[in-house]
Chains A and B, each alone.
Chain A
Amino acid sequence: DTAVSQTPKYLVTQMGNDKSIKCEQNLGHDTMYWYKQDSKKFLKIMFSYNNKELIINETVPNRFSPKSPDKAHLNLHINSLELGDSAVYFCASRASERTGELFFGEGSRLTVL
């Protein structure tokens, strides 16, 4: 069973389009994250949700809007895609009662043409 699953794994789209990436975890964790990994492999946190509540919102353009319908799901919607949005987006989850292992999904590679 996949602990953290993301869909789609690959996404190729044109500039200006709107797209969504979905994430689900079956670990029973309370906290979920979105990270962006650029072409230089740098991993940067974008958002964090704890029990459906937004707790971390880094300096991310407001074209990016996360949504957490329940604590097992955290989706990412991106409006008006730009070339610079091309990256691998990783969803991750972690139990919140203490700091501990971050479980990553397989990543969603977004290519904006």
Chain B
Amino acid sequence: GENVEQHPSTLSVQEGDSAVIKCTYSDSASNYFPWYKQELGKRPQLIIDIRSNVGEKKDQRIAVTLNKTAKHFSLHITETQPEDSAVYFCAASLGPAAGNKLTFGGGTRVLVKP
């Protein structure tokens, strides 16, 4: 089955700096890579996603890159703000033949210091 590794497990940055979270996946058949943000005591919510036919995607201060050959993808947050503090999860999804199973990484706790 799919295995998703995520690093680092914790990340502390100064407000205004950039944050980068990296993930690797094991199954080359995975074709969809979302990122979820989970604030304390709340539900995970999608912040950005990328499909396997795209190498990079950007939405305001967040961007995701995908390297299919190396089987890794990354989340970049620029100009971090205190409200970016949360746990971030990467995930990889196999297609309908595998039930669209979404496997999550272990999470990265991001703390943005004002």
* A residues lining the B interface (CB < 8 Å): 31, 33, 40-45, 48, 50, 55-56, 90, 94, 96, 98-102, 104-107
A104-B99 in contact (CB<8A)? no
Please list 14 pairs of residues, one from A and one from B, whose beta carbons are closer than 8 Å in the complex, sorted by A's number.
Answer: A31-B100, A40-B106, A41-B38, A43-B44, A43-B89, A55-B99, A90-B44, A96-B100, A99-B95, A99-B96, A100-B32, A102-B34, A104-B44, A106-B43
B46-A50 in contact (CB<8A)? no
B107 interface neighbour in A33, A42, A48, A90, Cβ under 8 Å? A42
**How large, as a class, is the contact surface on chain B?**
20 to 34
B100 interface neighbour in A40, A94, A107, Cβ under 8 Å? A94
B interface majority secondary structure: strand
Question: Which chain B residue lies CB-closest to A94?
Answer: B100
Q: Considering the chains assembled together, what is the distance between the CA atoms of A15 and B89 in angstroms?
A: 31
A43-B107 in contact (CB<8A)? yes
- Name the B residues within 8 Å of A43 (CB-CB): 44, 89, 104, 107
B45 interface neighbour in A40, A50, A104, Cβ under 8 Å? A104
- Name the A residues within 8 Å of B87 (CB-CB): 41
Known contacts A43-B89, A96-B96; A90 and B104 CB within 8 A of each other: no
